[in-house]
Amino acid sequence: MDILTGFGQGLLVALEPVNLLYCFIGVFLGTFIGVLPGIGSMAAISMLLPLTFHLDPTAALVMIAGVYYGAEYGGSIASVLMNIPGTPSSSITCIDGYPMARDGRAGIALFASAVASFGGGLIGMVVMAVLAPALASLALNFGPTEYFAVILLGLVAASAVSNGSPVKGIAMVVAGLMLGTVGVDITTGAERFTMGIPEMRDGVHLVIVAMGLFGVGELIVSIRANAAGAHQNAIDYARFYPSRKEWKAMAGPVWRGAGIGSFFGALPGTGQTVASAVAYAVEKKLSPNRANFGKGAIEGVAVPEAANNSATQTAFIPTLTLGVPGSASMALVIGALMMYGIVPGPRLLVDHSDLFWGLVASFLIGNVLLLILNIPMIGLWVRLLQIPYRYMYPTIIVLICVGVYSVNNNVFDIWLTLAFGWAGYLMRLFRFEPAPFLIGFVLGPMMEEQLRRAMLLSRGDASVFLTRPISGTLIAATVLLLAWSLFAAMKARRAGRPALALSDE
Amino acid sequence: MRDFLRRLRRSGETARPPHAWLGALGGLALLALSTVFVIGGLELGTGTPRRLGTGAFPVITGLALAILSLAVIAGDLRDSSEAERPDWISFAAIGAALAIFALSVGRIGLVPGVFLATVTASLPDPSLKFPGKAALGAVVALGCWGLFIGLIGLPFKPFAWN
């Protein structure tokens, strides 16, 4: 099936009223939660995941994708208005967005951010539509050895290129892999680490881990952060539309940002934050207006937003075609698909082409919705930001409780969420990143299965991972990446600064 | 109670110990976890290289985590930066809210469970007085009733005595 036929078929799927409705709900709720300071797309997807359980897989995936990029866009609203990034990737938008707001140009900054997100999203969608089928057809030749190597590379990439210490990142991934073994072993039927609790036989539910680590954990952190004074300055929202000169200034940065974002989004482990930061740095070097960067340059808002949103779309390429998520949000997408019995990987495009192309087409519709939803609704988001946080966080915690309880109607799940919530807070206190833990947890069972299969097929010869060309290359890439990240961390430690303050959810 | 909370809040503002101890504590927790998985995995049986047993993957990952946690402890003990400031009040209040919801939703129903959980979660914020917390609890409880039972139709009992 060629790309245009596939896209046409996808458009028909995405335009079905039910998918359109869930795309709208996803984008709206994602933006709503993403606007709240300190609560990112990860928490937004975790909180809303139970709502998708009653839907068919396509509608569920369309809604989750809508929540994802809605939350990413919502994050930039808090960045521009309050200098508090709603998501880690929108922290770059603060650099010029907030000075624009202080300068009385908040409306223009928000408009520029919406338009740049739209442009970036569209370019990311085209890149995904072109690249994903090519990568999937290559991956169709993969056996268990190659899959194991791809998963290993994905895990190392996601943990090593995270915030601070790569050793801690990898430790978190391994801890996540271990948690993934809890429950009944599907090969032998033996129970593992269930402590005799019947509810643990099926393992720990993804929603519980995600809601605990990200929903509850982030919320505990955000209470003090928001009480410390997330006060808004007096800002003039009267002017929304950029002048002709400003439109012209935005065009180049949107293209460049989208190009850089598409590239980084497709790489496992880097994601939107790295994409935004690199795009901003490149633009600052290229722009004729570079002197105004950091002081309220419209290019400084457009470029990270375009990069961020295009990376959001292309992050689906390795997730759907290889089954390897580049970030914790994508790990949740994989987990959600597996709940429906759909295994992400190269067969997805063959066996569920309507779902894949429906999702690609929904990106187009979702981005249009994001644009038409956000320009008239900027006032609503502004008012939402003015609601005191003391009313917001108790409401959010109750929504988490009800969301978790609704999965199985079982209070044991709430106790587990409490345990993971406390663990998530303690992880942050001990400076461990929870995101690699979740990626390890989602990929753990898959990795174990591929390892067992590969060992069985090679009659117990572990050297097969190195001798087969694709897996050997991937393992070599993993070792190089690991060595590079450890070297970078050591160099940074000597210089007295964090290794890479660029983590993604 | 209010005095106690105020004192507890102030105690968090005093000088903080270096991160080294907290970091090492995190590393020790991981080491303990890895020990549990290695011992448990060995008891389950690791099988042969050709047919990996039920316990093989937990043992492999457990050993990897044990080595990594030693590296974490060694790295963090050399960290002289200031520790993060813990917010134990919010930690306890949010935990209590979840616990109260878990204890009450099956026994007395969704509406009272949500009310109690909301009030408990709002306790760390001194700027909202008790009548305000109660009013917030009532609004959220009624909202959840309308949204989850009325609109979405989830099979929850609004009141357990219904």
Q: Tell me if B12 is assigned to some domain.
A: no
The rounded distance, in Å, linking the Cα atoms of B8 and B117 is: 22
Of B58, B68, B156, the CB nearest to A181: B58
Same structural domain, B101 and B147: yes
Same structural domain, B72 and B104: no
Distances (CA, A) of A322 to A3, A137, A259, A267, A480: 19, 10, 22, 12, 21
**Domain boundaries defined on chain A:** 3-228+236-495
Give the count of alpha carbons within 13 A of B69, CB side only. 22
Kindly state whether B77 is in contact with chain A, defined as any CB-CB distance less than 8 angstroms: no
Of A192, A397, A427, the CB nearest to B121: A397
Q: Which of A409, A259, A329 is nearest to A87 (CA)?
A: A329
Query: Within its chain, how far is the Cα of B31 from the centroid?
Result: 20
CB contact under 8 A, B128 and A221: no
Question: Which chain A residues in 395-434 lie under 8 Å from chain B, judged by CB atoms?
Answer: 395, 397-398, 400-402, 405-406, 409, 411, 414-415, 417-418, 421-422, 425-432
Tell me the pLDDT tens digit for each residue of B144-154.
998 888 877 77
Q: Tell me if B158 is assigned to some domain.
A: no
Q: Tell me if B99 is assigned to some domain.
A: yes
- Report how many Cβ contacts below 8 Å link chain A to chain B: 183
Q: Tell me if B4 is assigned to some domain.
A: no
pLDDT of res. A302 = 92
E strand residue ranges, A301-428 = none
For tokens 């000597």, what's the residue? A494
Of B71, B84, B94, the CB nearest to A167: B71
Question: Which chain A residues in 194-223 lie under 8 Å from chain B, judged by CB atoms?
Answer: 216, 219-221, 223
- For chain A, 505 residues long, give each residue's pLDDT as a single digit of tens: 577 888 888 888 888 898 889 989 998 888 888 887 666 777 788 888 888 877 888 888 888 888 888 887 887 787 787 776 656 667 788 888 888 887 888 888 888 888 898 899 899 989 988 888 888 888 888 889 998 998 898 888 777 655 568 889 899 999 999 999 999 998 888 999 999 898 899 889 888 898 898 889 888 988 877 665 544 555 555 667 788 888 888 889 999 999 999 988 887 666 677 788 888 888 888 888 888 888 888 999 999 999 988 988 888 888 888 888 867 778 888 888 888 888 888 888 888 888 888 888 888 888 888 888 777 777 777 777 778 888 888 998 998 898 888 878 889 999 999 999 999 999 988 888 888 898 889 888 889 999 999 999 999 899 999 999 989 998 999 999 888 888 887 777 777 655 444 344 4
Amino acid at B36: V
Domain count, chain B: 2
B136-141's contacts with Cβ under 8 Å and 24+ in sequence apart are: B136/A391, B136/A394, B136/A395, B137/A394, B140/A394, B140/A395, B140/A398, B140/B114, B140/B115, B141/B110, B141/B111, B141/B112, B141/B114, B141/B115
Kindly state whether B64 is in contact with chain A, defined as any CB-CB distance less than 8 angstroms: yes
Same structural domain, B38 and B57: yes
Model ipTM value: 0.89
Kindly state whether B160 is in contact with chain A, defined as any CB-CB distance less than 8 angstroms: no
**Which secondary-structure segment (H or E) carries A184?**
strand A183-184
Kindly state whether B104 is in contact with chain A, defined as any CB-CB distance less than 8 angstroms: no
- B28, B44, B77: which is the final residue of a domain? B77
The rounded distance, in Å, linking the Cα atoms of A88 and A68 is: 13
Same structural domain, B25 and B67: yes
Q: Tell me if B8 is assigned to some domain.
A: no
Kindly state whether B40 is in contact with chain A, defined as any CB-CB distance less than 8 angstroms: yes
Range of the structural domain that residue B147 is part of: 88-151
Of B87, B95, B118, the CB nearest to A224: B87
Q: Buried b / exposed e across A190-201, counting CB within 10 Å, b at 16+?
A: ebbbeeeeebbe
CB contact under 8 A, B52 and A451: yes
Kindly state whether B5 is in contact with chain A, defined as any CB-CB distance less than 8 angstroms: no
Same structural domain, B70 and B120: no
Give the count of alpha carbons within 13 A of B107, CB side only. 8
Kindly state whether B94 is in contact with chain A, defined as any CB-CB distance less than 8 angstroms: yes
**Which secondary-structure segment (H or E) carries B37?**
helix B19-44
Chain B residue closest to A413 (CA)? B102
Kindly state whether B70 is in contact with chain A, defined as any CB-CB distance less than 8 angstroms: no
Q: Tell me if B157 is assigned to some domain.
A: no
Q: Distance (Å) from the C-alpha of residue B122 to the closest C-alpha of chain A? A: 6
The rounded distance, in Å, linking the Cα atoms of B100 and A142 is: 49
- For residue A145, what are its two tokens? 């050895």
The rounded distance, in Å, linking the Cα atoms of A432 and A416 is: 20
Distances (CA, A) of A405 to A138, A329, B75, B106, B115: 42, 22, 40, 10, 16
Chain A residue closest to B112 (CA)? A398
Handedness of CA A319, A324, A330, A331 (dihedral sign): positive
Of B56, B71, B90, the CB nearest to A224: B90
* Residue B132 pLDDT grade (very low, low, confident, very high; cuts 50, 70, 90): very high
- Cβ contacts of B19 on chain A, cutoff 8 Å: 431
- Would you say A122 and A257 are in contact if contact means Cβ atoms under 8 Å apart? no
Q: Tell me if B60 is assigned to some domain.
A: yes
Kindly state whether A233 is in contact with chain B, defined as any CB-CB distance less than 8 angstroms: no
- B25, B48, B77: which is the final residue of a domain? B77
Q: Tell me if B160 is assigned to some domain.
A: no
* Residue B1 pLDDT grade (very low, low, confident, very high; cuts 50, 70, 90): low
- Would you say A503 and A273 are in contact if contact means Cβ atoms under 8 Å apart? yes
Residue A192's SS3 state is strand
